[in-house]
Each structure stands twice: as structure tokens, then as C-alpha cells.
Amino acid sequence: MTNLKEEIMSYLEFLKRSKNHTDTRWVVKYNKKGLVKEVKQIYKPSEYYSLNLHKGENSRPLHNKNALIKILENDKATRDPILNE
């Protein structure tokens, strides 16, 4: 069984190498500590927007590939002291 640090690194490496469609976006969910809890890939952002219009400002923002990489790298840096204990 792999640990969380290895899972984060392997997904980051995969994301950096992969070729995604330019319209692909991701939604990031956070836990109470502000760390990434879940990442969902959205294939049709226009459909996501139309289904979540009723949420207004409360809807989760969509991130492109580069923004997601930055979010995951920041999350990894935040977790490093926690995981190394």
C-alpha cells in the first residue's frame, strides 16, 4: 500500500506529462484544514457552468491544468512537514 506522499507525487508527475484537451478543467475540494481532499475532472465546462448557475458565487471554481499543478504542488509543500513527522 502506497503512502499519501507517493500518491500525490505520482499524480503530479502524470499530470505534468499528460496531454489533456484544452477545454478540460478540474474542481478541487478542500478539507477543514485547507488541504486538498478531492479533485474531479470536468470534461464539459460549459455544461458544468449551466448546471451550477443556481449556486452563484458559492460554486467551486474550475481550474485549468497549470493552475491545478500549482494547487497540488502547494498542497504537497504544506503536507510535507505533516507527512515527515
**For position 1, what pLDDT does the model report?**
41
Mean pLDDT, the chain, integer: 81
Q: What is the dihedral of CA 67, 68, 73, 74, to 10 degrees?
A: 70
Tell which wins on pLDDT, 27 or 58: 27
Q: Which three cell numbers stand for residue 26?
A: 478540474
Which residue range forms the structural domain that includes residue 22?
4-83
pLDDT band at 49 (very low <50, low <70, confident <90, very high): confident
Q: How many domains does the chain have?
A: 1
Asked if the model's pLDDT at residue 32 lies above 90, the reply is yes
